[in-house]
């Protein structure tokens, strides 16, 4: 006796199998992208023009500060990208996170959290390596939402800092300007 061939049953079976395969594929992609399941890369064989993220914290002295400022300046022109932390694009707190991380300093990722690091310093006492924080009111916020690194303090009217401008990317600006002083919140010496 011949069993009748049912196209509907066969189609349902194929759709079920394809659905299961799609779910399995999605799970594999998720696990592969999940940081918990990633293998650590061997950084000893990869060459990088920047220092590697060391597990030992470096001392925060004038030599390290100059290197950090130089590294931050090497990113000048990198475009702004919300949440970015690399040469393809970065935001303001991502710049600090990236640069200090490459020197073995573990810092928070978000600007208002970064503003809690170190001790507060006055504008008169700012020097290279200090961090500056702002409330720009973009998005209607009343809390710190922008950060930068002081690159040099020439005189009381010329204090330069590097940051990620949302319109012009990584750049240096004079802190002592009408705009930046109008939204300046605080400055800290991080370590």
Residue numbers annotated as active site? 92, 146, 163
Query: How far from chain centre, in Å, is Cα 64?
Result: 20
Three-state DSSP state, 87: coil
Per-residue DSSP letter, 80: B
Q: What is the dihedral of CA 86, 90, 94, 98, to 10 degrees?
A: 20
C-alpha 85/C-alpha 51 separation (Å) is 15
Long-range interactions of 122-129: CB distance < 8 A, separation 24+ = 122/187, 123/156, 123/159, 123/175, 123/187, 124/156, 126/150, 126/153, 126/159, 126/175, 126/187, 127/153, 128/65, 128/66, 128/69, 128/152, 128/153, 129/60, 129/65, 129/68, 129/69, 129/189, 129/190
The answer to whether the CB of 14 falls within 8 A of the CB of 22 is no
């Amino acid at each position: 006796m011949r069993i009748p061939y049912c196209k509907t049953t066969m189609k349902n079976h194929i759709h079920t199998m394809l659905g299961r395969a799609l779910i399995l594929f999605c799970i594999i992609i998720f696990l592969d992208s999940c940081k918990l399941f990633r293998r650590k890369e061997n950084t000893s064989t990869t060459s990088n023009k920047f220092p590697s993220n060391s597990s030992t914290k470096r001392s925060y002295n004038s030599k390290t500060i100059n290197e950090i400022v130089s590294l931050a300046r090497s990113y000048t022109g990198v475009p702004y990208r919300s949440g970015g932390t690399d040469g393809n694009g970065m935001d303001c707190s991502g710049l600090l996170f990236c640069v200090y991380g490459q020197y073995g300093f573990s810092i928070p990722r978000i600007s208002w959290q970064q503003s809690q690091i170190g001790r507060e310093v006055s504008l008169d006492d700012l020097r290279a390596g200090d961090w500056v924080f702002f409330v720009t009111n973009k998005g209607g916020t009343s809390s710190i939402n922008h950060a930068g690194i002081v690159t040099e303090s020439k005189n009381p009217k010329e204090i330069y800092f590097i940051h990620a401008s949302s319109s012009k990317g990584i750049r240096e600006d004079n802190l002592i300007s009408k705009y930046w002083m109008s939204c300046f919140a605080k400055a800290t010496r991080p370590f």
